[in-house]
Amino acid sequence: MNTNSNVYTIVYTTLIVVVAAAILSIAAMALKPKQQANIKAETISQMLTAAGFSSKEDLGKLGNDKVLEMYSENIKTAFLIDAQGNKTGELETEVTGIELQDNLKLENKNIASGNPSLPVYVFEKDGEDINVIPCYGAGLWGPIWGYIAFNADCSEIVGAYFDHESETPGLGAKIKDEAWFREQFKGKAVDFAHPDNPFGIIKGGAPKEDRSKIDAITGATMTCNGLDAALDTWFKAYMPFLEKKAAAAAEDDDCCCEEGCEDGCCEDGEGHQHEHHHHHNHQEG
């Protein structure tokens, strides 16, 4: 074959492209499991940070396997719910087959269409349940997301963690980098009375007495507006579930006190809960 001909040049170039594509494809397939493991460990690290088990920095030092083990050891149950707050399926929590609902972009679209499949991760920490849910939205330059941890009856936020794809360093990126911003969420609550605006990130300072408002980051208006909108969207989607948790806790309290307080159980929140369960266990026995 004439190596100076156009035909030779075309054939040679085609072969080079095909070989290069094959090498890249094989490399991508070989790296895919590791990439997926990294994504899973990163997602779990964010949830564990929100729930207060460790700092994100310390979790990053443990390595993927240790992070997965910590998740499996401390998760009580994980499941999916629909738009009405009803459980629709379970997520595997055993370390060898952990399942996560981590395509938050897709679920953001499903929320808008009214047909979401929303994850709830229930951890046990110091003998108490911690419910962790995600949120997802648009920042100034790209997606922003995070995890919010609630107490057992979902009446109070106990922690939060947020991340982003490309927010401005020193400004919007502070939703991830600044601990003071995340700390504001502790002790706050979702405003059930205003489902269209259940939470607020307020520029110029949030009223201290308002449990559903926090301060925005100075100079990061667009990022904070995006996170504010994301929280409203996802809190509204989770509202039926959150309200059911609160109602169930209130019903448990009422049930105990209606059954009788001659032993003084209703004078102590923890005590009457214990006596309540003891009563039912005795009946079942």
Residue 97 binned pLDDT confidence (cut-offs 50, 70, 90): very high
pLDDT of 31 over the 90 cut = no
* Average pLDDT score over the chain: 87
Residue 275 binned pLDDT confidence (cut-offs 50, 70, 90): very low
CA dihedral of 217, 218, 219, 220, whole degrees rounded to 10: 10
Dist CA 168 CA 46 (whole Å): 20
List phi, psi (to 5°) of 31.
Answer: -85, -15
Show me where the domains of the chain are located. Answer: 39-252, 254-284
Residue 6 binned pLDDT confidence (cut-offs 50, 70, 90): confident
pLDDT of 30 over the 70 cut = no
pLDDT of 280 over the 90 cut = no
Q: Which two tokens stand for residue 26?
A: 């094989």
How high is the pLDDT of residue 33?
Answer: 58
Q: Which residue has the higher pLDDT, 98 or 32?
A: 98
How high is the pLDDT of residue 53?
Answer: 97
pLDDT of 44 over the 50 cut = yes
How high is the pLDDT of residue 256?
Answer: 58
Residue 1 binned pLDDT confidence (cut-offs 50, 70, 90): low
Q: What is the pLDDT of residues 146-198, one digit of tens each?
A: 999 999 999 999 999 999 999 999 999 999 999 999 999 999 999 999 999 99
How high is the pLDDT of residue 2?
Answer: 65
Percent of the chain at pLDDT exceeding 90: 72
Predicted TM-score (pTM) of this structure: 0.79
How high is the pLDDT of residue 127?
Answer: 96
Q: Which residue has the higher pLDDT, 285 or 35?
A: 35
Dist CA 1 CA 7 (whole Å): 9
How high is the pLDDT of residue 279?
Answer: 38
How high is the pLDDT of residue 15?
Answer: 82
Residue 132 binned pLDDT confidence (cut-offs 50, 70, 90): very high
Contacts of residue 68, Cβ cutoff 8 Å, sequence gap at least 6: 40, 41, 44, 95, 98
Q: What is the pLDDT of residues 215-272, one digit of tens each?
A: 999 999 999 999 999 999 999 999 999 999 989 887 776 665 555 554 444 544 444 4
